A and B are shown apart, each in its own frame.
Chain A
Amino acid sequence: MAVPISQMWTVSTYVLKKKLSGTKRYPLVLMLEPLFRCNLACAGCGKVQYPPHILKKQLTPEECFAAVDECGAPMVSIPGGEPLLHPQIVEIVNGLIARKKYIYLCTNALELKRRLPEFTPSKYLTFSVHLDGDREHHDFSVCREGGYDIAVEGIKEAVKRGFRVTTNATFFDGTDPNNVRKFFDEVMSMGVEGIVLSPGYSYDKAPDQTKFMGRARVRRLFRAILSNRKPTWKFNMSPLFLEFLMGDRNYDCIPWGMPAYNIFGWQRPCYLLQEGYADSYKQLLEETNWEDYGVPSGNPKCANCMVSCGYEAPAVIDGFGSLKGFIAMVRGTFTRYPDQHALNLLNEPAAQGSPALVKIETPGRQLEETRA
């Protein structure tokens, strides 16, 4: 089990209180982006594509605390940009710890080793290190040779100092599931608490607009990766969300479950789409046309999205909000998902070309039915 009991208790009691109070929409994780500035220029990330005066802006600690206090989510994810470039990130983190928020500080770890002495290990603080695969794959993915080695050095130092550490990977079309499974072995051997993963999304501003998987292909990939699990693998995610990725269950997106706040305000409707900003979380909830988003809406912008900011919250609410969901979650935590069909998928020929130069097209395959 990757997530500590105290964190699960906090989240489960929060969900139950909201359920008992009849609250229809509430946040589980605040995606707090204190800045867009980054020290990488990854293909696949559009967050750095702003004029310099925007990249120089950053949220103050007070603005971060006000957003956290207003929305009340028990967990705060700090992506970016690269949060460790924020000169007051330690003050922000310490202020959130004082508020007893469970923090996932998402970092490429290029600065992690250098800045670790400024942080204090806490059950509330997790460094979520971006690693997209083995050395060759990660370096190619983040468009920087040597990035993997620096990140791994940061991970090992953080683990050594007693910090909670997870890795965080995004998989795009052409990903070889066998490589990913080997990568999981490698990551777990570093002593991390667990793995976080997500399928890529066709983020409108991303420089790479060619390798986005549709939902059928996402399910097939994650079914191949996540079935027949090794006992050493641990995932710092809801088991029900992983089952969603594998095609074993279906959820509808609830973007208000993981709202995003940055220098522009509260992002509508979610972390990935930019369809305006609200001045407050209350305004975001009340004035966003939520029915325009998610699969039931038919909105093409939501067509291939299966990412955690929309779909992990319903999985968590399902897991902690009903006895049936809770039993499924417990079962999912301890199951290895044996699946012969998934083994067959692993034995299919890998996409042609260098594994690092991710193959964009997969010719000759028929659309495959999955269990979703």
Chain B
Amino acid sequence: MTAEVLKYTREQIEALEVAPGSQHENLEGWVPELATDEEIKAAIGKALDYRGDVTLTLKSGEKIEAYIFNSHNGPTLADSWVQYFTPKAADKRKVTYAEIARIEFTGKDRAAGKHWEDWVKAYNEKKAAGEKNIALHPDKLE
């Protein structure tokens, strides 16, 4: 079981009035230290949650722009891998943790700045200004 499991009892869960939301971390531009195995695993965990591309620099020197969506934690870094899509290829690819020298959170964080409060504020301002057809629009696909 993961460490966070068993945080609540059934009674506590059944009695919950309001569920806590999650804190959004500002990771855009972050370059984590990868000195230890634990730091590598932690950085990959953050990359998995990140809604933007990262740049992986491999020990071979190759740089990969990647959207990381899956991982496997094996007994060693050589047995552990991440799975990703790149902007220029259709297929899913994998690279082992052992091959990764550097991770940079280079892509735009697509989850940032899209809070409910932002929408409420923008809506109220536009409404007050007499604007019609107020809407949020999906990001352009560039």
- A residues bordering B, Cβ < 8 Å? 37-44, 46, 48-57, 140, 143-147, 173, 202, 204-205, 207-217, 263-265, 274, 276-277, 289, 291-292, 295-304, 357, 367, 372
Contacts and interface: CB of A to CB of B under 8 A. Distances in A.
Contacts of B15: 214-216, 367
Interface in B91-142: 92, 107-108, 110-111, 114-120, 123-124, 132-142
A211 B116 CA distance: 9
Contacts of A301: 4
A44 B21 CA distance: 12
Contacts of A46: 51, 111
Nearest to A368: B17
Interface residues of B, number: 61
Contacts of B116: 43-44, 207-211
Tell me what chain A mostly uses at the interface: helix, strand, loop, or mixed: loop
B70 A54 contact: no
Interface of B: 1-2, 4-10, 12-22, 24, 48-49, 51-53, 67, 69-72, 83, 85-87, 90, 92, 107-108, 110-111, 114-120, 123-124, 132-142
Contacts of B142: 52
B110 A49 contact: yes
A300 B10 CA distance: 11
Question: Which of A42, A44, A173, A207 has the most chain B CB within a 10 Å cutoff?
Answer: A207
Given A202-B22, A367-B17, A299 B5 contact: yes
Contacts of B7: 298-300
Contacts of A212: 18-21
Contact of A303 (B13, B115, B136, B140): B13
A204 to B, nearest CB: 5
Nearest to B132: A145
A270 B119 CA distance: 28
